[in-house]
Structure 1
Amino acid sequence: MRAARRRGCMRVSPWKGRCQPRLGRGCYRLHFGIAGEMKPVTLPECIIRCANWSTHQPILGSMPTDPGPVPPAKPAATRSRASRPRSGTYTVHDVARMAGVSSVTVSRYFNEPQKVSEALRTRLAQVIEQTGYVPNQVARILATNQGGVVGAVMQNVTSPTFADMVRGMMDVAERNDLQLLLANSHFSRDSEARALRTFAGWHPRALILTRGDHSPESDALLARLKVPIVEAWEVHAGRPFHQVGFSQQVVGRMLAEHFVGQGALRIRFVLNGAVEDGRATRRSEGYAQAMHDAGLVPDVWRARASDDVGAAREAMAALAAMPPGRRPRAVIFANDNMAITAILCAHSHGLAIPGDLAVAGFGDAPLAAVTTPSLTTVRPDPYAIGSRAMEIVVASLHASTASAGPQVQEIACDLVIRESSRVVR
């Protein structure tokens, strides 16, 4: 016995001074809980029934055929019963233990199920259904470099225009095993910076941003991230990232030329009070350049109210207070929400559209075609912008080598001429 103890193969039983094999954890369970039995198993039975019998081989010749009775241990939990771990969340290791497989097999079940036998797939499916196990997606991304999260920071997620853009991104993402996470910056560069810091903690595969004028903090963070970055919605010259969209200046010029071509001499561009909405400001810059080119004086007017409805009502009150001989003959509103509000409240201010005031907007909102009069506007293609932005992400993730430089893809807008913009002479 002493020799056996020196070899680390025996231990003294506290019961009757007998010796018994030093067993591994799994073997110990088999000894005292095989098939629900509540009685000890003798060593010869161990040789036949214990999967770990080879650990006892060196001492079989010196061991008594029956080491004697030992107190029964509690039976091990069977695979059919799931005991919730202390953390309250099952891990891949818990699922592997309960299914009697390795954690690698569990991971393969999710990532490459065709490489797992049908019997194991059935067993794992039962355990996963029982436990409600959900794979750790961050761990999966880091381990496999497949799938993953694409973060998108929107300027205004409540806008119908941006809703179509999100739909385009999601359709492409789902076809390529990518998940889209959204953040809303409310046109604020500081809010965008906070969203980018949060996304960075998720280890995103790529980022899609709907503005190109970021804060210095955001620019520094984006420069450090080694992931594809797409600026979607508008294009700027000299940007270091992929771009998809259109030129805001071109849109502003398009609207101004529409009124200049009808002979209007006094044309106003109305902005709301949200000074951080640089996109509308850039449209006003395109309008101003077109006015200069036509030999006319630009008239950019900004409301105090930052919301579209309040800004439009404020603008209409100011226009109604002007003498007819000095009042602008046409007004370009920064977006359709403002233009539609102007049409709805014009009568209360004693103004007729388009008789006294021709009006146009931007965005082609759903109500633009059904107002009276119907609204002239510029129609972007947000679905195409969103889907193309995500396609660039997918192509960048699958590229074997870095591309020569950032891609710039322009998606043209359409001028939709309706009743509201007719200049009455």
Structure 2
Amino acid sequence: MKPTMKDVARAAGVSVMTVSRAFRRDASISATTRDRIRAVADELGYVLDSVASNLRSQRSGFVAVVIPSINNANFADTVGALTTEIEAAGMEVLLGRSNYDMAEEERLIGQLLRRQPEALVVTGGRHTDRARQMLAGAGIPVVETWDEPARPIGHTVGFSNAAAAAMMVGHLAERGYRRIAFVGGDSSFDTRGADRRRGFVAAMEARGLDASRLITVGPPPVSMREGAAAMAMLLDTLPDTEAVMAVADPAAFGAMTECARRGISVPEDMAIAGFGNFEIAAVAEPSLTTIDPFPARIGAETGALIVRRLRDGAGDGLGDGMGDGVPTLIRVEPQLVVRASTGADIFPDGAITSPRLPRSA
């Protein structure tokens, strides 16, 4: 006869509720108790019928997440940290990829909501009208990440991409660079890249600098190859450029390789900066100045927020029906990471020394 949860509880000397919590990875029981219950279940040959359990509780047991790309290290870090929080609460993550396409994001949101997730996480704050309508009426926690949208649908965990780009412009300008270019992808697809470009232009104009050196290459994400192609285009058309800010680190690394091919020294002849603090930024030669958006922290904060909302039993029209009707904003402030590619030598302890000034204007 097939063993039941009651059989496991009897053999382990605990209540049926404790057995249920052990299989949900509920944090209210200790790891020792959980391991003992699961060992007893294995001995008896008990297997949790998750479908029946979810039907009884009227819960799906998963959180839906939509990201633009699965091969972007930043988004991978976000999803990894988010998953850790969600799994610790006894749920799973169901992942969808929009490929930087808002129409595809809309389709995915519709498909995922039909599966009745416990919560839904999207990347960025810009969506189609239909997607916004579906998210606003979902009745579950909805979290927009990697952005600070002007009109948040529900909760937000992220930062202003425009302000982060302005931070980088400020760094380059303070080091004496004036003829600064921006390299990015098609802004009609990559809304976060578009915000960085917007922040770049606004910061340049605020300093009275020429903000017209804008190089656009291909759809997002901009690869190393496309970064190299963009730098080649820039050097061929605007050879007096002194510094480049790329929309992301891979593009910046590609730009550095093109400079190396042409015998242009970084940073003595050309300063280059990126965005994302990818692993390649620290190991590149020269090491790459960048913006660290703390992607894992975004994921961890998002997961913890969802778990809190679900445990509080809140359900609202702002995503989860919060009684106070006020969405949560968790701001994860990006950090400027200054390295050698913009004229500074960085030692392991992070100290900045030996500044190198750019070419005279």
CA–CA distance in 2 between the matches of 1:388 and 1:145? 26
In the other structure, the counterpart of 1:161 is 74
Which residue, out of 263, 274, 297, partners 1:384? 297
1:413 aligns with 2:334: yes
Q: Cα offset for 1:147?
A: 7.2
Match of 1:424 among 339, 358, 361: 358
| 1:258 aligned counterpart, secondary structure | helix
TM-score under structure 2 length normalisation: 0.79
Deviation digits for residues 282-311 of structure 1, max 9, x if unmatched?
011111111111111212523343342342
Which of 228, 237, 252 lines up with 1:313 in the alignment? 228
Letter of the 2:151 partner, please give it.
G
Q: Any idea what the Cα deviations from partners look like across 1:140-189, whole Å, max 9, x if unmatched?
A: 33422567100011111211111211121112112211111111111111
- d(CA) in 2 for partners of 1:112 and 1:371? 47
- Aligned residue number for residue 20 of structure 2: 111
Unaligned runs of 5+ in 2: 8-15, 24-37, 315-321, 344-356
User: Which segment is superposed worse, 257-266 or 310-319?
Assistant: 310-319
Return the offset for 1:347: 2.1
Partner of 1:277: 190
Q: Secondary structure at the match of 1:282?
A: helix
User: Deviation per CA, 1:346-372, whole angstroms, max 9, x where unpaired?
Assistant: 122342211221100000111111111
The aligned counterpart of 1:135 is: 49
Bigger drift between 265-274 and 388-397 goes to: 265-274
Deviations 1:238-274 (A, max 9, x none): 3131001111011110011111112222111111236
User: For 1:225 and 1:380, how far apart are their aligned partners in 2?
Assistant: 29
Output the amino acid matched with 1:213: R
Distance 1:198 1:127, change over 3 A: farther
- Using structure 1 for the length normalisation, give the TM-score: 0.67
Cα pair 2:60 2:117 within 8 Å, conserved = no
Distance across 1 between alignment mates of 2:270 and 2:217? 22
Q: 1:194 to 1:110 in 2, by over 3 A?
A: farther
Distance 1:199 1:297, change over 3 A: same
Relative contact order, higher structure (CA 8 A, sep 6+) = 2
Q: Aligned match of 1:288 in 194, 201, 214?
A: 201
Secondary structure at the aligned position of 2:186 is classed as: coil
Q: Distance in 2 between matches of 1:275 and 1:263?
A: 32
CA distance in 2 between partners of 1:145 and 1:272 (Å):
44
Contact 1:169 1:386 in 2 (8 A): yes
Q: Quick one: distance in 2 between partners of 1:202 and 1:128?
A: 30
CA RMSD of aligned residues (A): 2.7
For the pair shown, the structure with the greater C-alpha radius of gyration is 1
Indicate the SS of the match to 2:144: strand
Among 103, 126, 151, the alignment partner of 1:238 is 151
Moved more, 200-209 or 145-154: 145-154
Mapped pair 1:171 → 2:90: no
Identity over aligned pairs, percent: 28
Maintained 8 Å contact 1:147/1:177: no
Q: Which letter does structure 1 place at the counterpart of 2:20?
A: N
Question: How far did 1:416 drift?
Answer: 0.6
Give the whole-Å Cα distance in 2 for the aligned partners of 1:123 and 1:309.
52
Contact 1:273-1:303 at 8 Å conserved across structures = yes
- Counterpart-to-counterpart distance in 1, 2:332 and 2:241: 32
Q: Which whole-Å deviations, capped at 9, do the CAs of 1:176-226 have from their partners, x for residues lacking one? A: 111111111111112212221221122100011112111122112112211
> Is the CA contact (8 Å cut-off) linking 2:253 and 2:284 kept in structure 1?
yes
In structure 2, what is the Cα distance between the partners aligned to 1:211 and 1:347? Answer: 35
* 8 Å contact from structure 2 (residues 158, 330) kept in 1: yes
**Any idea what SS the aligned residue of 2:146 has?**
strand
Please say if residues 224 and 252 of structure 2, whose CA atoms lie closer than 8 Å, have aligned partners that are also in contact: no
- Paired residues for 1:187-198 under 5 Å: 187-198=100-111
Amino acid at match of 1:317: A
The 2-side partners of 1:181 and 1:194 are apart by 15
Letter in structure 2 aligned against 1:407: T
Aligned pair count reads 312
Distance 2:41 2:248 in 1: 54
**C-alpha distance 201-350 of structure 1, shift in aligned 2 (>3 A):** same
Q: Structure 1: which 5+ runs fail to align?
A: 1-78, 80-93, 100-106, 115-120
